[in-house]
Amino acid sequence: MPYYVRDELNKTLADIPGYYGHIDDVGISLYRGAYQLNGLYLDKVDSKTQTPFLNFPKTDISIQWGGALLDGRVVSEIEMQHPSISYTFEDHVAADGSLDEPSADVWYAVLTDIVPLQINRFETIDGEFTFTGLYAEPNIDLYLSNVNALATNLQNAEQSSLALPSTLKATATTIGNGILDLNGKLDLIKEIPDMNLDMTIKNADITALNDLTLHYAGIDFEEGKFELASELAIADGYMKGYFKPLMTDTKIVDKWSDEDTNIFKIAWESFVGLFKFVLKNQGTDTLATNIPIEGSVENTEIGIWSSVFNIFENGWFNAFDSNVDDTIGFNDAITKKNDSAEARKEARRLRREERRIERVTNRAQRRNSNDNPDDNIDLEYEIEQIKSDT
């Protein structure tokens, strides 16, 4: 029986377009309604690295016993030990920049074959996630290690009446040995999940981000700490939140020798001088800002000028800290979505009104140019009528 199940699951993995995968062994525990997948891996056929995209040494899938079963709902729970996800940018993005992946329907079919019951509880123990950009200069290598995450009531099997019935808690070690803490409430049953999330990263060594800062900003840190706080709410596809990055006690590597006098050195020293000027926060070296984000998930706006102002506000007025501000809740996303819907409705009304006024103006110009005054149109009256109608 276990060998048959293993072979069938391996056929499923082999049918994923552009991927190859394998499961070493399947164990079955009939007494608790569970089975174990040992040595599951999945990778791109033309992968640029030797590290598999997915590497799950041990996955336990079982019926979730308890209230849901007593209520007549059969759902599952999954526990993964030491799972690893290694995302190499060049493996998943085509040369033209488009995403080179199977459709969501393909992935859903694969998941359904592996886990035929709806997943209501999901836990990872000591997991790892890495993101690599091989062709970036320098290479980008970001990771999360010691990932411990628990998500419960994902299918609302407990029949909660709450708007966000599912819970998520996660901790991890970030690049630079920072500590990530994530807490949230979700509704994953919707096509675009509703959620309310809080996240912090504490005490990360900023020099570990040098590959990223060199690639995007040309900045090379010699020392310092990096921290981040964020709140995010999504309701019916509308997003509202912020990211609040902080850098403390930073020192930037001087790229030029004392003998260099070219224009690039002058420009660099001017940039560093401004950077250090902004960093001064009443005697401390802290650069912080609050980056607001808002809009639909397909077209989110980032408050650039608010972010710039907040840098100076932190430096000279009110110092930010690395804790969440508790200023964003799920209701904020609902309210803003409704406000945005009203604004779009008003914009459509004004466009209709403008088109009608343009048409009647053109008609009046043609009619009023005739010799027959009986054909003339009272343009002011017509415009007033249009405005009263719309």
Where along the chain do its domains lie? 353-389
The CA distance from 360 to 366, in Å, is 10
The CA distance from 237 to 193, in Å, is 8
The CA distance from 76 to 151, in Å, is 12
SS3 sequence of 303-319: CHHHHHHHHHHHHHCCC
DSSP state for residue 254 in the 8-state scheme: P
Phi and psi based region of residue 141 (left: phi greater than 0; alpha: psi -120 to 50; beta: remaining): beta
DSSP state for residue 292 in the 8-state scheme: E
SS3 content of the chain, % helix, strand, coil (to 5): 35, 40, 30
pLDDT of the chain, 390 residues: tens digit per residue: 688 889 999 999 998 988 899 999 999 998 888 999 999 999 988 887 778 889 999 999 998 887 666 566 788 999 999 999 998 877 777 666 666 677 777 777 888 888 888 889 999 999 999 988 766 666 778 899 999 999 999 887 566 677 888 999 999 999 999 999 999 999 987 778 899 999 999 999 999 988 887 777 677 888 889 999 999 999 888 888 888 888 888 777 765 555 555 555 555 555 555 555 555 544 556 677 778 888 887 766 665 545 444 544 554 445 556 677 777 877 777 766 566 556 566 666 666 777 777 777 777 777 666 666 555 667 677 777 776 776
SS3 sequence of 45-106: CCCCCCCCCEEEEEEEEEECCCHHHHCCCCCEEEEEECCEEEEEHHHHECCCCCECCCCHHH
The CA distance from 183 to 151, in Å, is 10
Residue 317: per-residue pLDDT: 42
The two three-digit tokens of residue 139, written as one number:
């290479």
Q: Beta-carbon neighbour count of residue 374 at 10 Å? A: 6
Cβ pair 118, 76 in contact under 8 A: yes
Residue 348: per-residue pLDDT: 66
Residue whose token pair is 């060998």: 3
Residue 236: per-residue pLDDT: 86
The two three-digit tokens of residue 147, written as one number:
């990932």
Residue 35: per-residue pLDDT: 93
Residue 261: per-residue pLDDT: 52
How far separated are the first and last CA of the chain, in Å rounded?
Answer: 70
Cβ pair 166, 123 in contact under 8 A: no
The CA distance from 290 to 112, in Å, is 41
Determine which helix (DSSP H) or strand (DSSP E) holds 243, and give its type and residue range.
strand 238-252
Residue 292: per-residue pLDDT: 84
Going from the C-alpha of 224 to that of each of 208, 210, 253, 314, the distances in angstroms are: 10, 11, 12, 18
The two three-digit tokens of residue 5, written as one number:
């199940």
Residue 21: per-residue pLDDT: 92
Determine which helix (DSSP H) or strand (DSSP E) holds 342, and give its type and residue range.
helix 330-368
The two three-digit tokens of residue 60, written as one number:
């336990």
One-letter amino acid at 146 equals N
Q: Is the link from the previous residue into 83 a cis peptide, with omega within 30 of 0?
A: no
**DSSP secondary structure, 165-221, as one string:** -EEEEEEEEETTS-EEEEEEEEETTSSS-EEEEEEEEEEEEGGGGHHHHHHHH---E
Widest CA span in the chain: 98
The CA distance from 99 to 92, in Å, is 6
